[in-house]
Structure 1
Amino acid sequence: MSNNRIYQEKAHRYIPAGSHTYSRADDSYPLNAPPVLEKGQGAYVWDIEGNKYLDFGMALRSVTLGYNFERISNAAIEQIHKGNNLTRASKIEVEAAEALCQLIPWVEMVKFAKNGSTVTSAGIKLARAYTGKEYVAKCAQHPFFSYDDWFIGDTVMNSGVPDVYKSRTLNFNYNDIESLEKLFTEYPGEIACVILEPATTEEPKDRFLNKIKDLCQENKAVFIIDEMITGFRWHLQGACKYYDVEPDLVTYGKGMANGFSVAALCGKREIMELGGLLHDKDRVFLISTTHGAEMCGLGALLETINVYKELDVTRRLWSSGKRLCEGMNQIATQNGIGDKLQFIGVPCSPNFITKDQQGQVSLEFRTLFIQEMIKNGVLMPWVALSYAHTDELIDLALEAGRKSMDVYKNALTDGVEKYLDGRAIKPVFRKKN
């Protein structure tokens, strides 16, 4: 067997699902995808056998500057040489919290952790403690908030979650304020918080986010915005700044330290302090993790903020995304498949939609497009732009897209099964394998 396949077998032997994130697992990729990667540099990744791919996955959108961005790596290494994890709070820990509070006006206190699930669940706990209520209202269209029971219990993949948790999570629809108003009416005085992303492919309309804030204030619920993806991408101060809304609590993660493991729960002092020592209310065991404030990641965070300011990183993300989307859509239109393959959404974080002959969204055709892009040297499971995606690299992706769309067009005529090498990718949330 090839080294790639040897490591793929080892991955499944020693790691459930073969990776530590479900969206990195085999079933999320075509069969020709590199099963295990060895390194990344800039906008490229290499598999174990040295095959090189232009990458648009960018570590599940967490790398926004480029792999091994020298200034970030050096800042992290500097903190490693200072001990990396000390007996009491570190100097860099205090400086990083202060930097976030100074950077973002609605952030008054910060609690660091290593991943997004930890901080979103901590936000839910704080909201319940602050309000004395139990129910959580979450946006039904937003795909992932946490691996904890309050969220997973409300998905089809809820094995292992007690029913009591499932019943405490409610759903409303994005850009449908009436659906949230209905929940507050049906559960008067029982909803602790509302949580959603500020935007995904769809953006807020008609002051939707501010209307949620008003509803939360009227009903004494905590307004939580999950900026795991939008933070450090829409704007240095996040999508909250871009859409002009101020949450009570906000979470960050992907992109804030260019791939280093840093996440943060941030927000109003009166709520955050419940997890602290300077109050006479019941204590909240908020987040207590040995490695939550690991110094290398926080050194990377501070340098990431500096780099964003100096290089105007978000401008590059928006312009590169615009160039990619316009180019791909133009090629699709020229091929006569502009209604079947579309790059849509916010330019700094776009998505592509694949449809079959009948115009129905199709995982088979999505798999085919990703498969063909891989054959042409581009790994594009989704579209995550980084500062390393220069105009030259976007043009390389467009040329790969042109070749891939030739196959896509033929598959629409001849049938996708003729061109698809093996099974289609599968959604993460499903009842059975």
Structure 2
Amino acid sequence: MNTVNGVLPLSTELNRRLNTLIPGGAHTYAKGEDQYPEGLAPVITHGHGGHVWDVDGNRYIEYGAGMRSVSLGHAHPAVLAAVRRELERGAGFVRPSIIEAEAADLFLDTVPTAEMVKFAKNGSDVTTAAVRLARAATGRPLVAFCGDQPFFSTDDWFIGTTPMNAGIPDPVTELSVRFPYGDLAATEELLRSHEGRVACLVLEPATLTEPPDGYLAGLRALADRHGCVLIFDEMITCFRWSESGAQGLYGVTPDLSTFGKALGNGFAVSALAGRRELMEQGGLHSDRERTFLLSTTHGAETHSLAAAMAVLRTYRAEGITARLHTLGERLATGVSEVAAAMGVADHVMVRGRASNLVFATLDERLRPSQEYRTLFLRQLVLGGVLGPSFVVSSALTEDDIDRTIDVVGRACAVYRKALDVADPTPWMGGRPVAPVLRRYS
């Protein structure tokens, strides 16, 4: 790891070019230049394992790789071997490939709570397909989603409820309602107030905190009692909580669940899985009116399915989930210790499951602060750590973790100086980083 000198001329110029060519300068809003301190938004040339390199020649220890999708590290040899093998055999055909059956078999063996699976390319598509299927199965219009969780889909039923709802008609947004995580009584009250109109409950089964005792089982009972479909969004929890996701860890089976991110280790693949009775409504063996479930040109791209199979096998053979937890625990402990040593333990805090850590940056009045986040991120980047979160990959080493903790310690020393004068501005290097979902640029 090298220390960045604070000047990224090639990245700065490329960011200007990206913004003239691509709306937002990136293909994911969370990767935008506005998410990083001014002048310190590196443009990446390549990655290997747990490290990436930018166009200015800097190397970084990387966290949250590929929006949490690259959990085995970049260019993982088993994944690359599987992909290369399939590329030489063709990427897509006019009829299903044998690998579609093989990938489905392996997935359902790994996630035994599901009876059928259909693959696609991104999480938004499969989660929206689950919502559509729930509406078709129940004949009900409303979608109830967990309002405490940040993201479910790029489609109108969800984005219409965010600050970036331009272009989405109000009548569409009015068909989505929120329920709070962990509060069964409030959720039941919501279902009663919309009796017979809620098609589904959509949520991530676990987030930054563990589910309260009995919560997921209680939701299962509520869904059954009120006749709605229980949908688990396992984009993040799949593999990071257990090889079979949060549903496997906590022993609660949803009607439908959606998977992605770590499933392909950076290759584009996602999955909708669930009960046969529901899934078949998008198939050929149901006597009910057909549901247009998922029909995508590239959903069964052979090399992406090969990547998914390699990921599933690697997780099982090498105990990857356990390794993610071990690395995350080492990082969380170290960050907490150096924050305490610098007197900022109440302001720089690590949160979440060890395999899926984020950090909070609070101001002198203990309020979440984009300005203090900017200060903190700036010190990380200058220290050679690219960390919008502290989500680990299994390719990181203990030495990477220890180096990160050292950089965090130096960042906390600067943080203390800013708190002492109640003003982070001198250490921000420019404008603050911005919330991803906001109404105006």
- TM-score bracket relative to the smaller structure: over 0.9
1:369 maps to 2:376: yes
1:237 maps to 2:212: no
% identical equivalent positions: 41
1:179 maps to 2:186: yes
Can you give the 5+ residue segments of structure 1 that lack an aligned partner in the other structure?
A: none
1:96 alignment partner in structure 2: 103
1:197 alignment partner in structure 2: 204
Cα deviation digits, residues 73-107 of structure 1 (max 9, x gap)? 11111111110111211111111111111111211
2:365 alignment partner in structure 1: 358
Equivalent positions of 1:390-409 (< 5 A) are 390-409=397-416
TM-score normalised by L of structure 1: 0.98
2:372/2:415 contact within 8 Å kept: yes
Equivalent positions of 1:25-424 (< 5 A) are 25-414=32-421, 415-424=423-432
Cα deviation digits, residues 239-290 of structure 1 (max 9, x gap)? 1111221110000001012111110000000000111011121111111110
SS in 2 for 1:255: helix
1:12 maps to 2:19: yes
2:3 alignment partner in structure 1: none
1:32/1:371 contact within 8 Å kept: no
Distance 1:17 1:35 in 2: 15
Distance 1:336 1:241 in 2: 40
Cα deviation digits, residues 220-254 of structure 1 (max 9, x gap)? 10000000011011111111111221110000001
Distance 2:151 2:241 in 1: 19
2:113/2:248 contact within 8 Å kept: no
Distance 1:255 1:18 in 2: 24
What's the offset of the Cα at 1:303?
0.8
Distance 2:180 2:354 in 1: 23
Distance 1:432 1:37 in 2: 27
Cα deviation digits, residues 126-182 of structure 1 (max 9, x gap)? 000111111011000110000101001111211000111111001010111111101
AA at the equivalent of 1:423? R
Between 96-105 and 135-144, the greater mean CA deviation after superposition: 96-105
Distance 1:189 1:223 in 2: 15
Distance 1:89 1:306 in 2: 22
1:8/1:18 contact within 8 Å kept: yes
2:332/2:350 contact within 8 Å kept: yes
Between 202-211 and 313-322, the greater mean CA deviation after superposition: 202-211
What's the offset of the Cα at 1:428?
1.4
Aligned length: 433
Can you give the 5+ residue segments of structure 2 that lack an aligned partner in the other structure?
A: 1-7
What's the offset of the Cα at 1:5?
2.6
SS in 2 for 1:161: coil
Distance 2:18 2:39 in 1: 17
AA at the equivalent of 1:418? P
Distance 2:108 2:239 in 1: 15
Distance 2:12 2:384 in 1: 19
